[in-house]
Amino acid sequence: MSEVDNRAFLQGVFAETAKGNGRPFIDALADDVRWTIIGQTPWSRTYEGKRAVLDELLRPLSEQLGGRNVVSAERLFGTPSSEPSRASASPGPERALTSRSEPTVKDRHPIAYI
C-alpha cells in the first residue's frame, strides 16, 4: 500500500470512528499489533496482539467511559508535522480522553499513531 493509499485508508477509518463506528478501526488492527500507552495511568502499558488490545484495553475502556465513544484523528503519521498523530475520544460533551501510542501495524507497516 502506498503512503497515499495508506493515508486515504486511515482517513476513511477515522471518519467512521468520528461518527462512533469503531468497526473499521478494529478491522484494521493487525493480529500482531503492539499498542503502548505512555504515562502513569491505569491504562499505561504495552498491549501485545489484537486480542489483548480488544479484551484488556478497548472493551474495558469503553465500559468505563460509558455510552457511545467517538474518536477523531487530529493528524496522521507522515503528515508534514514531525510529531506523531493525536487522537481524542469523547463519550459525551462533558468528558474527553487524549491518547498517544506506538504505531498500529497492518501488513507489517506502521499505519497510525493515536
pLDDT tens, residue by residue, 35-84: 999 999 988 999 999 999 999 999 998 888 886 678 888 777 664 444 44
Report how far apart, in Å, the C-alpha atoms of 10 and of each of 40, 65, 74, 81 are.
28, 24, 12, 17
Residue 54: which domain range?
3-112
Please report, as a single letter, which amino acid is at residue 9: F
Which CATH number do you get for residue 16? 3.10.450.50
Q: What is the pLDDT of residues 24-49, one digit of tens each?
A: 999 999 999 999 999 999 889 999 99
Rg of the chain, C-alpha, whole Å: 13
- Total structural domains within the chain: 1
